[in-house]
Amino acid sequence: MNSSSIKILGTLYSPFVRRILLFTAHHKIVVDTKFFTNILDNKFPEILQNNPAHQVPILIDEKDQKTIYDSRLIAMYLMDKFHINKFTFEEEQFLYLINLVNDSAVQLLLHERHGLSSIEGGKKIKIKLLERIENSLTYIHQNINQFENWNFCSISLYCLLDWITFRKIYDWECEGSESKFSGFHHFMKKNTSQLNVSETNPRNFI
Ligand SMILES: N[C@@H](CCC(=O)N[C@@H](CS)C(=O)NCC(=O)O)C(=O)O
């Protein structure tokens, strides 16, 4: 049995957690995992102790006595520790957009769950969030050739696109591969066989 000094606290559905699981698998970094359920409705002392914002993923490196939260910072920590190429400035910019789309999608999901999309103010916020998602994804799609390599940036895009489909938040798949996002179809298809992608498919855990 593998045991690692690195532990990842997460949930089975989070696209932010999945990024770290794909990134560590790709670089053959052994991690232990601990998954929580329903963290939006429950407060978990172990999460709160390690991240005051009560969000996952959280990395705990027992050997080096470090606790890191936020997936981008976790990736940077691992890059440093395992001598993996750091982000380029362009990748950082794409990652910023991917994170923004992901956060907007999480907010949309919460809006729907709490029925806010059916009230006037809520409708306006929904339109704004959807506009941001659409514009940012269109821009990323125009630059899809920058996502040829399987690195933290493309892994994050994969997890985002799959998650917004899974949660039915934004239908980038539209009319199949002929859609305006045809480059995303190609990107997703090409990467479905990457390490740990099928094992971390959130649909497995419903
Ligand atoms: N910026 C954070 C975002 C993490 C995040 O939003 N995590 C969600 C899971 S998808 C979470 O923990 N939500 C619980 C909450 O907000 O209370 C990252 O990149 O790690």
**pLDDT tens profile 151-179:** 999 999 999 999 999 999 999 988 666 67
pLDDT at 112 over 70: yes
**Same domain flag for 100 and 185:** yes
State pLDDT tens for residues 25-72. Answer: 999 999 999 999 999 889 999 999 999 999 999 999 999 999 999 999
Q: How many helices (H) and strands (E) does the chain have?
A: 7, 4
Number of structural domains (the chain) is: 2
pLDDT at 2 over 80: no
Residue 19, token pair as written in the block: 């990024």
**Any domain includes 198:** no
| Containing structural domain, residue 75 | 8-85
Choose between 111 and 201: higher pLDDT: 201
**Same domain flag for 119 and 66:** no
Q: What is the mean pLDDT of residues 69-96?
A: 97
Bridge pairing between strands 66-69 and 32-35:
unpaired
Distance, CA 98 to ligand 1 centroid (Å)? 14
**Same domain flag for 93 and 165:** yes
Q: Answer whether 61 contacts ligand 1 (Cβ < 6 A).
A: no
Q: Answer whether 14 contacts ligand 1 (Cβ < 6 A).
A: yes
Residue after which a domain boundary falls, among 66, 85, 104 = 85
**Same domain flag for 171 and 134:** yes
Residue after which a domain boundary falls, among 54, 85, 116 = 85
Q: Which of 16, 35, 162 should be mutated for ligand 1, with most atoms under 8 A from CB? A: 16
CATH classification at residue 135: 1.20.1050.10
Residues 6+ away with beta carbon under 8 Å from 152: 19, 23, 72, 75, 79, 87, 91, 95
pLDDT score of 1: 43
